[in-house]
């Protein structure tokens, strides 16, 4: 890109850089007598680590303090900062800076974000705002530009199409490291020019995959098109099918998709080459992060399953850097950025986290000097939730669907299509999807099994990937109350019971993210989860994250779109017998 074009593009989408990720630590540190992990060579040895000017400058035994602040790490592990290989920040429901504040104390120092939620709602302007917000985060946020906006032609998003021409203005920015998950595998199979132009634009970077629901006979074609990885493996069989063909496998553990135990167990039992494995969360709520950790949760799982620290660090830190060409990161070696985690052997406790040589967290709590809240200006966002006021009469299952239900699967994003009797149908809650971008006023309703709500409704404006309003409830009155309140808030989470709102969380940023800090938002999410489960929502599922995926038409088997009940495997809408 020539300088004139760069100036024009950066003036159209101005770049801010004032977060911790842009700062370099000035204090000299010497971490003494720890077990230092080399995540490339898979070794662990007792050594010291010297940190100066935000970099690791020396490792070895018996290093001199020489003006450094000494931290005794005897009996502790010193490893590289963890990296989330694939995550949608918007699914945490906070802005990027607040997300960084939430995960940094758990040892995550960098993420590979795919902001296709915000881009589906607001297109190029939304992406530009996300990149600017990301610069304020206390972690490094690298970005894969969303490839599939809209995800499919079957439902209604806010942005319309996001083309290769739209992407080009962002492609050469330093933080852009690839093309986001390619979900349109039938378009790939047919070499559709729209998706192939996007892949060509990022030919020298990483092309992320998404194969949920993809027929196995398309896999070779998909890989040949340039797709390099997949985070959608939910069982050993699907993982091995992709691993055997050379794909990198991102082992996922989010709030709704709990795949890591099965996949790690398979990798351990079969002795898989860990150079093809990395960790990711994809979608993980703040409440879940606060309760169990972030990438650290998968690290603990790997250690319990018998993976050595070298192997674990390879998957948690080094491999993502290799996949996305991030130089001088992901290892404890001289010349590497001082993103460091000090933990115990089992990774049960995160003692310290260094970011760019700055002591950023201690005992799983963010350092007060790192908090970015005082650096954020007040944000105002236009209301993107636009639909007419709804009534109970809008939530009636059409005659053609009275004996068909969507069944949720505990711990998975998958759903099943089931047939129910008239008597069974009377006992099941309803699921509704409401077009919320002000384009056509669509509203669809079907039966829902496995959610379990009683005497009320739960509604959200977060529903992957088009982010229409999704509502589950056992009566139309409460469903209308919940949806109408979302409209007033400009998006968020709402619970209604007895004709009244009983809980809510505003998400004014594109109906996806709160303007509050991580702790405040996390506490609100946790409170709402407890209310929802107290109303009978299945305790084995995340009440909101699970609901948000019921309208995503790229994961089998059924999804309720604003345009109707969709059979993902057949690629058709269900019209009844």
Distance between CA atoms of 81 and 533, rounded to whole angstroms? 35
Q: Please report the beta strands in 316-456, taking only residues with DSSP state E, as ranges in sequence order.
A: 340-343, 350-355, 358-362, 365-366, 404-408, 415-419, 430-434, 443-449
What is the predicted pLDDT for the residue at 576? 66
What is the predicted pLDDT for the residue at 376? 47
Best CA proximity match to 212, nearest among 247, 251, 182: 182
Domains and CATH numbers, the chain: 20-375 (3.20.20.140), 392-573 (no CATH)
DSSP 97: H
What is the predicted pLDDT for the residue at 554? 81
Neighbours of 98 (CB within 10 A): 30
Contact status, residue 323 vs residue 330, Cβ threshold 8 Å: no
Residue appearing with tokens 């230092």: 36
Strand-strand pairing, 340-343 and 500-506 = unpaired
Non-local (6+) Cβ contacts of 470 within 8 A are 431, 432, 433, 434, 459, 460, 463, 547, 548, 550, 551, 560
Helices (H), 135-184: 164-168
Helices (H), 70-115: 96-103
Low-confidence ranges of the chain (pLDDT < 70): 1-22, 371-379, 576-577
Q: Please report the beta strands in 465-536, taking only residues with DSSP state E, as ranges in sequence order.
A: 469-473, 492-497, 500-506
* DSSP character string of 116-132: HHHHHHHHHHHHHHHHH
What is the predicted pLDDT for the residue at 8? 38
**Coil vs helix vs strand at 249:** strand
Burial category of 368 from C-beta neighbours within 10 Å (exposed 0-12, middle 13-18, buried 19 and up): exposed
What is the predicted pLDDT for the residue at 378? 52
> Which H or E run contains 476?
helix 476-489
What is the predicted pLDDT for the residue at 95? 94
Largest CA distance in the chain: 80
What is the predicted pLDDT for the residue at 522? 85
> Which H or E run contains 83?
strand 82-87
Tokens of 383: 């209301």
Instruction: Encode burial over 397-411: b for 16+ CB neighbours within 10 A, e otherwise.
Output: beeebbbbbbbbeeb
* DSSP character string of 539-560: TTS-TTHHHHTTT-TTSSSEEE
Q: Is the pTM of this model over 0.85?
A: yes
First to last CA, the chain: 57
* DSSP character string of 255-276: SS-B-HHHHHHHHHHHT--GGG
Distance between CA atoms of 78 and 47, rounded to whole angstroms? 9
- On the CB side of 177, CA atoms within 13 Å amount to 22
Non-local (6+) Cβ contacts of 244 within 8 A are none
What is the predicted pLDDT for the residue at 21? 64
What is the predicted pLDDT for the residue at 7? 37
DSSP 15: -
Q: How many helices and strands in the chain, by DSSP H and E? A: 17, 28
Contact status, residue 179 vs residue 188, Cβ threshold 8 Å: no
């Amino acid at each position: 890109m020539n300088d004139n074009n760069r100036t024009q593009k950066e003036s159209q989408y101005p770049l801010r850089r004032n977060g911790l990720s842009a700062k370099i630590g000035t204090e000299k540190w010497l971490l003494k007598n720890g077990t230092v992990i080399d995540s490339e060579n898979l070794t662990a040895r007792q050594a010291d680590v010297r940190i100066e000017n935000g970099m690791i400058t020396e490792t070895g035994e018996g290093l001199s303090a020489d003006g450094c602040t000494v931290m005794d790490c005897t009996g502790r592990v010193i490893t590289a900062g963890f990296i989330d290989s694939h995550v949608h920040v918007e699914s945490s429901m906070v802005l990027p800076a607040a997300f960084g504040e939430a995960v940094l104390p758990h040892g995550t120092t960098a993420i590979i974000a795919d902001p296709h939620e915000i881009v589906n709602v607001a297109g190029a302007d939304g992406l530009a705002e996300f990149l600017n917000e990301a610069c304020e985060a206390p972690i490094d946020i690298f970005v894969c530009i969303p490839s599939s906006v809209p995800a499919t032609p079957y439902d209604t998003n806010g942005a319309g199409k996001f083309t290769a021409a739209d992407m080009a203005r962002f492609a050469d920015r330093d933080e852009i490291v690839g093309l986001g998950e390619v979900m349109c595998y039938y378009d790939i199979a047919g070499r559709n020019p729209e998706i192939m132009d996007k892949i060509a634009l990022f030919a020298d970077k990483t092309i992320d995959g998404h194969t949920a629901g993809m027929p196995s006979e398309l896999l070779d074609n998909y890989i040949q098109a340039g797709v390099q990885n997949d985070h959608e493996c939910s069982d050993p069989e699907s993982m091995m099918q992709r691993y055997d063909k050379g794909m990198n496998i991102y082992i996922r553990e989010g709030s709704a998709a709990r795949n890591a135990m099965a996949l790690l167990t398979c990798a351990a039992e079969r002795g898989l080459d860990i150079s093809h494995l990395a960790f990711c969360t994809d979608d993980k709520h703040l409440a879940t992060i606060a309760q169990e950790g972030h990438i650290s949760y998968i690290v603990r799982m790997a250690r319990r399953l018998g993976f050595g620290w070298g192997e674990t660090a390879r998957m948690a830190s080094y491999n993502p850097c290799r996949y996305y060409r991030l130089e001088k990161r992901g290892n404890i070696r001289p010349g590497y950025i001082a993103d460091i985690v000090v933990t115990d052997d089992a990774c049960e406790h995160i003692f310290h986290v260094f970011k760019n040589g700055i002591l950023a967290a201690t005992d799983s709590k963010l350092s007060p000097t790192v908090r970015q809240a005082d650096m954020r200006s007040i944000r105002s966002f236009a209301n993107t939730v636009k639909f007419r006021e709804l009534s109970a009469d809008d939530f009636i299952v059409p005659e053609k669907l009275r004996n068909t239900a969507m069944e949720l699967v505990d711990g998975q994003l998958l759903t099943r299509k089931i047939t129910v009797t008239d008597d069974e149908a009377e006992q099941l809650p309803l699921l509704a999807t409401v077009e919320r971008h002000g384009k056509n006023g669509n509203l669809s309703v079907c039966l829902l099994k496995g959610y379990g709500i009683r005497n009320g409704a739960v509604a959200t404006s977060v529903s992957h990937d088009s982010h229409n309003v999704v509502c589950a409830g056992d009566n139309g009155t409460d469903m209308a109350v919940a949806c109408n309140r979302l409209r007033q808030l400009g998006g968020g989470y709402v619970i209604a019971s007895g004709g009244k709102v009983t809980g809510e969380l505003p998400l004014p940023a594109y109906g996806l993210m709160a303007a509050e800090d991580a702790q405040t938002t996390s506490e609100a999410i946790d409170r709402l989860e407890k209310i929802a489960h107290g109303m009978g929502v299945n305790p084995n599922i995340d009440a909101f994250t699970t609901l948000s995926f019921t309208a995503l038409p790229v994961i089998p088997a059924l999804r309720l779109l604003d345009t109707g009940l969709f059979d993902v495997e057949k690629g058709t809408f269900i019209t009844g017998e």
